[in-house]
Amino acid sequence: MIISVINLAYWQVALAYLFVLIVLFIIKSRGISREKELIIASVRMTVQLVIVGFLLAYILDNPNPFITFGVVLLMTSFAIFTVFRKFKKQITVPLKKTVALAIIFGSLPVLFYFLLVVIQVNPYYDPQYFIPITGMIVGNSMTGVSLAVNNLIKRFTINKTEIEEALILGATPKQASKEIVNDAFDAAIMPTLNSMLGMGIIFLPGMMTGQILSGVVPTLAILYQIAIMLGILGGVSLTTYIFLMLGYKTYFNHEAQLIEH
C-alpha cells in the first residue's frame, strides 16, 4: 500500500482560522467575555508551534544525547512549574516538592523503560522518539498530578472535621486520609481510562492519526498506539500514586496532628 502525504500550503492553513472566527462570533453573540483569551490562545499556539517546528527540524537533523536529554529535562521542568503556576497560592512548599518528586520519579522511569526496553530505540538518544513520547507521557502525568493536587487540597479543606475526629478516635494519618487519597487517585486516572475505553471506536488518537497521515501502515500505527497508551497509563498512575503517598503526609506534623495549609 503506497500512501502519499498531502502537503499543506500556508494559505490552506490560513483557511483553518475560519474556525476561530466562528467561535469568536458565537461567544460574542452570546455575551461571553472570552474574545481576548481566544485570540491570545490562537496566536500563542501558532507562534509556539512554528518555533518548536524549526527547533525540532534542527534537533532531528543533528541528533545529540546532550541535546535530547536537555530537551527532556526542559519539558519535565516546564510540566512541574505548570502545576505550580496553576495552583499558585493554594499549593504549599512541601506540596511543591512532592509534585516535583512525583513527576521526576513517576514519569521519567516510565519514559526510559518505554523507549529503551519496550521500543528499544537505537541509538538510545534518538530525538525522533524521545521528544514526542516525552511530551505524551510527561504531559499526561502532569495532568494526572494536577487533578490529584486539586482533589487533595479540596478534600482536606472540606473534610477537616472528619479527619480530626478520626485522629481523636485513634486513626493514623494514613487511615484518616485513605478515602481522600483513593478518591484523588481515582479522579486522576479516570481521564486516561476514559480515553482507553473510547479509543479506536469513538475516536482515533492523535499519535495514530499522525502516523497514518505520514504514511505508516495502519497496523503498525495501532501497535505503537497501544504501547504508548499503556505507557501513558503507567506514567499517570505511578506519578499520581507517588504524589498522593507523599502529599497527604504534608497535612500532618510529627505528632500525627492535622496542620493548617
Say yes or no: 22 and 69 in one domain: no
- The model's pTM: 0.85
Q: Collapsing DSSP states into helix, strand and coil, what is residue 116?
A: helix
pLDDT in tens, 10-66: 899 999 999 999 999 999 998 988 899 999 999 999 999 999 999 999 998 999 999
Q: Give the chain's length.
A: 261
- How crowded is residue 63: how many other Cβ atoms within 10 Å of its Cβ? 14
In sequence order, what are the beta bridge partners of 203?
199
Out of 62, 94, 110, pick the residue that ends a domain: 62
Please check whether residue 261 lies inside any domain of the structure.
no
Say yes or no: 36 and 119 in one domain: no
* Dist CA 27 CA 37 (whole Å): 11
Say yes or no: 137 and 212 in one domain: yes
* Dist CA 108 CA 244 (whole Å): 17
Number of domains comprising the chain: 2
* Dist CA 173 CA 171 (whole Å): 7
pLDDT in tens, 135-167: 999 999 999 999 999 999 999 999 999 999 999
Q: Dihedral (C-alpha) 43, 49, 53, 59: value to the nearest 10 degrees?
A: 130
Say yes or no: 80 and 68 in one domain: yes
Determine the structural domain holding residue 72 and report its residue range. Answer: 64-251
